[in-house]
Structure 1
C-alpha cells in the first residue's frame, strides 16, 4: 500500500484528452486496458473518441451576460429595507439571494458581483460553503468556526453552535464586510449566521427561496440570453467557427438550455477538437441518451457532461471519477496522485487538462501554474500546483459513475492510498518543525522528493492551505469505518503536526475535533487505551474552556476506561486531573482525596518523584482549606522525598512551603528557621529565582517579628537577585 501511495503507475505525458493506447493500458494501476471495473463493459475501440488536442485554458472563461441581474442586485443593495421604511434603523445585514438550479451560473454571478463590490466593503469577503461535497449540509458550528478563523477571532474549543454563531456576530458587529454563503440548503442553515451588523452584506447562493428570513432580496436565474451563451462557446472554440455557422451556434446554446455549466463543457469539447464544427457539437450533444426518469430541466447539463466525459481517455476518466473521494472537495496533484496511484507530475498534468475542458474549476486565490514544474522539485513546488474543485453541479453524476464503474474494493484501495500519502506528508511536515540535524529531519531526507519540504515555512504554508481538507479527511475516514487503522494514524500525525506548527492554544479547536473522532473510533473498536487517552485530552480542553462539569465527567470516564485495560499511566493522570479539577472548584476535601488515590498508585509503582509532587499538591489543598497540621505533614513528606532523591531544588521549594504553612499557623519563629534552611538548600542548588523568593519571604517574616533592620538587608538581597535572575 505504501509503495502504491508513493510511486505506483505513471500516466504518460499528454495522456489526458487523447485515446488510450496499449502503452497507456499498462500504466493503469489496476492493469485493465479500459480503466473500468472488471466484468463491466468499457468503451470499445470502435467508440473510442478521436484524437484531440487539449486546450491550454486553465482559468474559467470570461464572464458573459447577466447584465440585467447584476444591475438588479446592485439596486437591491442601495434600496431601503423594510426596517428603514418603517422608520427604524436596520438591526441586521441586508441579505441578497441568488437562486437557481445547479449549473445556472449562480456562483459565477455571485463572484462577479463581489468583484464589483470590492471597494465598497473594506473588510473584505468572508466565504463559506454550506453544503459538503457529498450533498449533506455542513454543520453550522463548523461554518461559524471557519469564518472566525478567517477573521482572526477565537472561540473556545468544543464550543456549541450557539456560542460560535454569537462569537461570529460579535466579530462582525463593527466591520463592513460581505458574508458570502454558497450553496445554502435552506434558511435554517443561513439564519444563525446572519450578523447583527447593518454595514455588512450577506450574499447567499441557493437552489430555492429562504423562507422565514425577512426582507430577502431574491434574484432568480434562468438560462442565458442567446448572445451571451454564444459568447461563452466562442471563448472556447474561437470566433472563426462561430462566425462560420452562427445559426447552429445559437441552436447549440438552446440545446444547452442557456446554462453556463453546460455551455462551458460543450465549449471545452469544441476547443479540444480544432477540426470539429459547431454542427458536429450539436449532433454529438443530441446523440447523448437521456434517462427516462431525468427531469427535463436537467437534460442540457446531463448531455454536456456525458459528452465531455465520454471524450476523455480511460485513465483520465478514472482519475476524474476518483476525485469525488477528495476531502472537502479540494483536489491537488498529491490528492489525485494518491487516489489514482500515479506520479505527482502526471496527476498535475491530468488535472490541468481536465480543468481546461471545464470539468474542474481552479480554486480562487491559488496560483494556476503553467504545467512546467516536475515532481522532482519537491513538495514546495507541488504545493504551488493549483487546487481545483469539482463543480457541485457535476459531483452527483461523477459520483454515480464512480459507483457504477469501480468495484467497492477499488474505491477502498484508492481511499487507503490517499490516507497513506496524507500521513506521510504530515510526518514530513512535522519533521520540518524539528531542529536541523534532528533524527526526524534525517528520516525525512530519505523520502522521495515529492514528499519533502524545502523549509519549515514551506511546510507551515502547506499545512495552513490544506488544514480544512485534512480535517475533513479525518472525518470522512472515521465515518467510513473501513480503514480505522489508517485513520488512527492520520489523526495521530495531524495532531502532532498541528501542535508543532501552530502550538497547543492556536490548534485547540482542531485538536478537540480530532480527539472526538479518536474517541468515536476507540469506542467502535473497543480500544480501551485510546478511549482513555481521548477522554483525557477532551477533558483537558473542556477544563481550559471553563466547562468544569464536562471535564469532571470525561475524567471519570477516562479513569474507568484506563482501569478496565489496566493502564497505570492513564489511571494516574485521570486521578490527578480529578484532583486538580476539584481544586479549581474549591472542593478541597475531594481534591485531597483524589490526589491521595493518585499518590497510592505512584508509591505502589515506586515512582518517587511523582509521589513527592503529589505530596506537595495534597499539602497545597490542605493549606487552602486551613488544615495546617495535615498541610505540614504533606509538605514535610515532599521535602523528605526530594532529599532522598537528591533533588536539592525540590527540597528547598518544599521546605519553603513548610515555612509558609508555619507562618499561617501563627508560628513565625519556626517559619524563620525553616525558611533559612530552605535558603541554604536553594543556594546549594544554584536556583537564583528560588533564592530571591526565599529572601523576600524571610524579610516579611522579620518585619512581623519586629526586626526591620535585618528585614531591609534580606529584602535588598532578594530584590537584587530578582533583577539578576529575571523570568
Structure 2
C-alpha cells in the first residue's frame, strides 16, 4: 500500500510537508524494535509480532510520529512487503468495528472478503494472509486493546505500530512511548515554516512564549502558525498577547486548553459565512468533505465552497486529503467544532444542513449511475437537465468519483440511519448507492458493500414498521448469504421475509420468499421440504395466473422430484414446464424442459420414450437456432443411443455436436435449477 501523508491533526507536520522534532522518541522506538524479548532471551522464536504503542492526546503528534517511524523503516527495506494502515476510531469518537477494519485491510491487500462475513472470520483471514509476510501494520487512534488484539498477525515477521490515547491493557509485550509537547527548538521550527524566519528572529522571546502557551502541541502550533501566515503584518508578540487574553474553559482538562485557545483564536478571525461552514463540517462523514459536501451543508455555490475550503487549509483548520478533491477535518478539532455547532446553531438548522448534504449525495449518485446508461435513454435525458456541477462527463470520471467517495458515502448512509430523523432521505441515499455500485462494479464485485447497505435498509424498515421494505431487505440479504455458502442463515432470513411479506400483503414478496425457501432446502439436500415449498409457491403463481413463474416453478419442482427418485411426479412436472414454455413462445425453454423430461425417462428405465422426447427437443433447438443448446442435446441423444445399443448412431450425433461446438471445445450441459445431478 502506498505511503500516505502524515496526519496534521495528529501530527507535528505543518502544512508544509515536513516533520519536526521527536528525534529522541524515534530513537527509543527503533531501540524497542531491536530489543530482544523474553522469548529470544530464552532461545525461543516469538510467535507474536512486536507491538509498539505511541500514546498521547489528539493533536500531540502521535500519528505523525508513527508515520515518520514507518516511513523510515520501509525506506530502509526492513519491511519489504509494505505498510497496512487503518484508523480504528471515527472522527466523532465511535470505535470502528473489527469487521469493517479487517475488510478494509484485506481490500488494501487486493483480497475481496465474502459478503456478510463476521469480524472473527475476517480477522482470521487477515492473519492468514499476513503469515510469511514482512509488513508494518499501523493502527491509528485505537480506543482499547479489544480493537487491536484480533488484528495482530500470528508470527513475528510483522511489526505493529498502534496509536492510542492511553495504555492497551491486555496485549502482552507492548512497548509504550508516551508523548508530551515538542521541545522548544522544534516548536519554533514549526512556527518558522509558516511565518518565515524574520518574525521569529526579531522577537525570539515572544516565539518561545508562544510555544509555551501552545503547550508544545503540534496541532495548536499549526493553528497559531496559520493565523500568523494569514497576517503578514502581525508580530509574534501580537499573537502571544491575544492568546493570553483568551480565558480558559474551567470545565476543560488542562492538557486540552492550549489547543482550545489556539482554535478559538483562529475561529474568531473567520468571516461569519466561513465560520458557519467550518462548524457544519463537523457533520461531514468520516471527517471528509469536498466542495459539493461543503456547498450542500452551507447552502452556497460549489465554487464559493471550494474557495473557503482552500482557505481553511491555509489557516491550518483543514488538510488536503489523500483522495482527489477531498479535504479532511482534523480529528482533534471535531469535538471543538461540535461544541460550537451545538451552541451557535439551532437544531432545525443543523437538521436542514444534514438533509441538504444527503440530497446532494443522492443527486450525485443518480448522475453517476445515469452516465452508464445508453445515449438517448430516459436516464441520460434526465442527466442532461441537471446543473453542470452535478454531471459527469464520462463513465470513467464517474467511476473514479464513486471509488474515491465510496468510504464517505457508506459512512453517510450509516450516519443517516443511526440519526433516525431523516429516514426517507436515508432510504433514497441507500437505493441510489446500491444502483450506482451495481452499475459501475457489478452486483458480484460490490456484494460486500451491498450487504451492509441492505442491513441498513432492514434497520430502518424494522424501526418504522415498513413491512414491504423489510421483506425486500431480508430477501436481498438472504440471497447474498446463499451465494456465500451460508445456506442455513439464508433459510432463516427467507422465512422472516415470508412473514414480512404476509404482514405487508405483498404477493411478490410472498411468492419469492416461498420459492427461495424451497431453493434453500434443495441446496441442503432436503428434497421433500424443497418440493413442498416449491408446490406452495406454484399454487400462488397458478392462482395469480403468472405464467412465466409457473413454468419456472414446474421445472424447479421437477428437479427436486428427480433427485428424490419420484420419477413419475418429476416427469409430470417437466412436461407441465414444457407446456408452459410452449404457451409463452419460449422455444429454448421448451427444448430444455423436454431434455430434462428425457433425462427422467432414462432414469425411470424408459429409454425409447427418452429417445423420442430428446428428438423432439432437438427439433425445437433447431427452430430456436441455438447452436450450443442443439449441440448439448445431440450429446444427450448420443448417450441415450449408447444405452440402447446403437454406438454407430451415437457416434454420428457426437460428431455433429463437436462440429456445432466448433473451436470452443467445451460442452454445454443442460441442467435444472440446481447444479446437482
TM bucket normalised to smaller = over 0.9
Q: Relative to structure 1, is the Cα distance of residues 260 and 646 closer, same or farther in structure 2, using a 3 angstrom cutoff?
A: closer
Distance 1:228 1:711 in 2: 88
User: Which residue of structure 2 aligns with residue 185 of structure 1?
Assistant: 143
User: Which residue of structure 2 aligns with residue 117 of structure 1?
Assistant: 73
Distance 2:490 2:173 in 1: 43
User: Which residue of structure 1 aligns with residue 34 of structure 2?
Assistant: 78
Distance 1:520 1:615 in 2: 35
User: Which residue of structure 2 aligns with residue 63 of structure 1?
Assistant: 19
Select which of 187, 191, 216 maps to 1:233. Answer: 191
Alpha carbons 1:653, 1:678 under 8 Å: kept: yes
Q: Aligned-pair distance for 1:427?
A: 0.7
Q: Check if 1:644 corresponds to 2:583.
A: yes
Select which of 377, 382, 396 maps to 1:457. Answer: 396
Alpha carbons 1:137, 1:185 under 8 Å: kept: yes
Alpha carbons 2:14, 2:190 under 8 Å: kept: no
Unaligned runs of 5+ in 1: 1-56, 367-383
Which SS does the other structure have where 1:505 is aligned? Answer: coil
Distance 2:383 2:82 in 1: 39
User: Which residue of structure 2 aligns with residue 712 of structure 1?
Assistant: 651
Cα deviation per residue 1:244-295 (whole Å; 9 max; x = unaligned)?
0001111111111111111111111111111111111111001111122222
Unaligned runs of 5+ in 2: 1-12, 669-677
User: Which residue of structure 2 aligns with residue 472 of structure 1?
Assistant: 411
Select which of 329, 343, 351 maps to 2:309. Answer: 351
Q: Which stretch of the first structure deviates more once superposed, 328-337 or 434-443?
A: 434-443
Q: Aligned-pair distance for 1:439?
A: 2.6
Distance 1:61 1:585 in 2: 58
Q: Which stretch of the first structure deviates more once superposed, 592-601 or 196-205?
A: 196-205
Which SS does the other structure have where 2:442 is aligned? Answer: helix
Select which of 568, 574, 582 maps to 1:629. Answer: 568
Cα deviation per residue 1:48-84 (whole Å; 9 max; x = unaligned)?
xxxxxxxxx9934522111111122222222223322
Q: Check if 1:310 corresponds to 2:281.
A: no
Q: Which stretch of the first structure deviates more once superposed, 351-360 or 171-180?
A: 171-180
Cα deviation per residue 1:9-39 (whole Å; 9 max; x = unaligned)?
xxxxxxxxxxxxxxxxxxxxxxxxxxxxxxx
Alignment of 1:544-555 (within 5 A): 544-555=483-494
Q: Check if 1:571 corresponds to 2:510.
A: yes
Distance 1:644 1:724 in 2: 35
Q: Which stretch of the first structure deviates more once superposed, 438-447 or 329-338?
A: 438-447
Which SS does the other structure have where 2:52 is aligned? Answer: strand
Select which of 125, 134, 150 maps to 1:167. Answer: 125
Q: Which stretch of the first structure deviates more once superposed, 501-510 or 528-537?
A: 501-510
Alignment of 1:679-698 (within 5 A): 679-698=618-637
Select which of 47, 50, 53 maps to 1:91. Answer: 47
Cα deviation per residue 1:383-409 (whole Å; 9 max; x = unaligned)?
x42x22221211111110001000000
Which SS does the other structure have where 2:485 is aligned? Answer: coil
Select which of 263, 270, 273 maps to 2:228. Answer: 270
Q: Aligned-pair distance for 1:186?
A: 1.4
Select which of 603, 606, 610 maps to 2:549. Answer: 610
Alpha carbons 1:175, 1:197 under 8 Å: kept: no
Q: Which runs of 4+ in 1 moved over 6 A?
A: 724-727
Q: Check if 1:136 corresponds to 2:105.
A: no
Select which of 487, 490, 511 maps to 2:429. Answer: 490
Alpha carbons 1:248, 1:278 under 8 Å: kept: yes
Q: Relative to structure 1, is the Cα distance of residues 115 and 724 closer, same or farther in structure 2, using a 3 angstrom cutoff?
A: closer
Alpha carbons 2:575, 2:594 under 8 Å: kept: yes
Number of residue pairs aligned between Structure 1 and Structure 2? 652
Q: Aligned-pair distance for 1:234?
A: 1.2
User: Which residue of structure 1 aligns with residue 10 of structure 2?
Assistant: none
Select which of 101, 107, 115 maps to 2:57. Answer: 101
TM-score calculated relative to the size of structure 1: 0.88
Which SS does the other structure have where 1:91 is aligned? Answer: coil
Select which of 255, 260, 279 maps to 1:321. Answer: 279
User: Which residue of structure 2 aligns with residue 536 of structure 1?
Assistant: 475
Q: Relative to structure 1, is the Cα distance of residues 724 and 224 closer, same or farther in structure 2, using a 3 angstrom cutoff?
A: closer
Alpha carbons 1:58, 1:355 under 8 Å: kept: no
Q: Which stretch of the first structure deviates more once superposed, 256-265 or 118-127?
A: 118-127
User: Which residue of structure 2 aligns with residue 203 of structure 1?
Assistant: 161
Distance 1:174 1:342 in 2: 52
Distance 1:267 1:647 in 2: 75
Q: Check if 1:412 corresponds to 2:368.
A: no
User: Which residue of structure 2 aligns with residue 150 of structure 1?
Assistant: 108
Q: Aligned-pair distance for 1:113?
A: 1.6
Q: Aligned-pair distance for 1:478?
A: 0.4
Alignment of 1:14-33 (within 5 A): none
Cα deviation per residue 1:157-215 (whole Å; 9 max; x = unaligned)?
11111001101111211322211111111111111111123222111111111111111
Alpha carbons 1:416, 1:483 under 8 Å: kept: yes
Alpha carbons 1:100, 1:220 under 8 Å: kept: yes
Cα deviation per residue 1:637-679 (whole Å; 9 max; x = unaligned)?
1112222333222222111111111111111111111111221
Alpha carbons 2:635, 2:654 under 8 Å: kept: yes
Distance 1:561 1:130 in 2: 36
Which SS does the other structure have where 1:204 is aligned? Answer: strand
Cα deviation per residue 1:498-534 (whole Å; 9 max; x = unaligned)?
1111111211111111000001111111111111100
Q: Aligned-pair distance for 1:488?
A: 0.4
Distance 1:282 1:646 in 2: 86
Q: Aligned-pair distance for 1:442?
A: 2.6
User: Which residue of structure 1 aligns with residue 200 of structure 2?
Assistant: 242
Higher relative contact order structure (alpha carbons within 8 Å, sequence separation ≥ 6): 1
Distance 1:62 1:93 in 2: 30
User: Which residue of structure 2 aligns with residue 374 of structure 1?
Assistant: none
Distance 2:340 2:417 in 1: 24
Distance 1:60 1:578 in 2: 60
